[in-house]
Amino acid sequence: MTDRPKAVVLLSGGLDSATVLAMSIAQGFDCFTIGFDYGQKHNSELKAAFRVAEALGERPHKVIKLDLASIGGSALTSEEYEVPTGGVADTGIPVTYVPARNTIFLSIAMGFGEVIGARHLFIGANAVDYSGYPDCRPEFIHQFQKLANVATSAVDGGSKWHIEAPLMSLTKSEIISRGTTLGVDYGMTVSCYQADALSLACGMCDACRLRRKGFLDAGLDDPTSYQLGITPEI
């Protein structure tokens, strides 16, 4: 038994969510990690999440199976779209945005939190280095917290929900520096949108470019394993 407050942490297996898990543990939370097999084209990030949870956490990692591929609309779930590799766009919503993904993930994580008695929910949303996703903005997190507190037992005298997005205002290099200080081994993580069966990164998608630049800006070696013959871009 533990007297630490419980928290649900969304853990995808990527750099950001691994950092959030390390931060929430450092804050003294009893962390329950949850991830989603939602129909993404590759499962390398799912494997990475288990590695990160085992290395940093104390509890088994939970994976919920969904089928967001059935609604399509994203290069991460549908064969109708290709993952862009030409560079990070400055404006617009990228084709890698998965419609309603964070709303769905947070809703299920909130339900899980009700079951285990958690009232803190951590997510690695960030609006600095990658602000193209509408569900990674401060406004979204604020509105979801309001929803959580009218859609759960919080309305009947229960404890209020706190939706935590500690990376929201940090640059990628700041995130990496923070996680490195907390002992995160980023070599365990997978950020690439089209990693191969061996979890090797393409080095050209938006996620790879932002990750690569983050390590360079932080002055740290990039531990990412890239596909054979690939020269990573920024």
Q: Which domains does the chain have, with CATH numbers?
A: 6-191 (3.40.50.620)
pLDDT at 46 over 80: yes
Separation CA 117–CA 44 (nearest Å): 31
Find the mean pLDDT for residues 91-119.
95
The amino acid that residue 120 corresponds to is H
Cβ pair 7, 118 in contact under 8 A: yes
Query: At a CB cut-off of 8 Å and minimum separation 6, what does 49 contact?
Result: 11, 12, 13, 17, 33, 35, 61, 63
CA diameter of the chain: 59
How far the first Cα of the chain sits from its last, in Å, is 46
pLDDT category at 129 given cuts 50, 70, 90 is confident
User: Strands across the sheet with 162-164, in order?
Assistant: 62-65, 30-37, 6-10, 120-122, 162-164
pLDDT at 1 over 80: no
pLDDT category at 2 given cuts 50, 70, 90 is low
pLDDT in tens, 135-158: 999 999 999 999 999 999 888 888
pLDDT at 79 over 90: yes
pLDDT at 134 over 80: yes
pLDDT at 114 over 60: yes
pLDDT at 130 over 80: no
Find the mean pLDDT for residues 33-61.
96
Find the mean pLDDT for residues 207-231.
95
Please state, for a pLDDT cut of 90, what percent of the chain lies above it: 86
Please state, for a pLDDT cut of 70, what percent of the chain lies above it: 98
Q: How many angstroms separate the Cα of 53 from the Cα of each of 18, 164, 168? A: 8, 19, 22
pLDDT at 125 over 80: yes
Q: What is the pLDDT of residue 5?
A: 97
Pick the closest to residue 19 from 137, 190, 167 (CA basis).
167
What string of H, E and C letters represents the secondary structure of 54-110? Answer: HHHCCCCCEEEECCHHHCCCCCCCCCCCCCCCCCCCCCCCCCCCCCCHHHHHHHHHH
pLDDT at 90 over 90: no
pLDDT in tens, 154-183: 888 889 999 999 999 999 999 999 999 999
Q: What is the pLDDT of residue 54?
A: 97
Find the mean pLDDT for residues 193-199.
94
Question: Would you call 154 exposed, middle or buried from its count of C-beta atoms within 10 A (0-12, 13-18, 19+)?
Answer: middle
pLDDT at 132 over 90: no
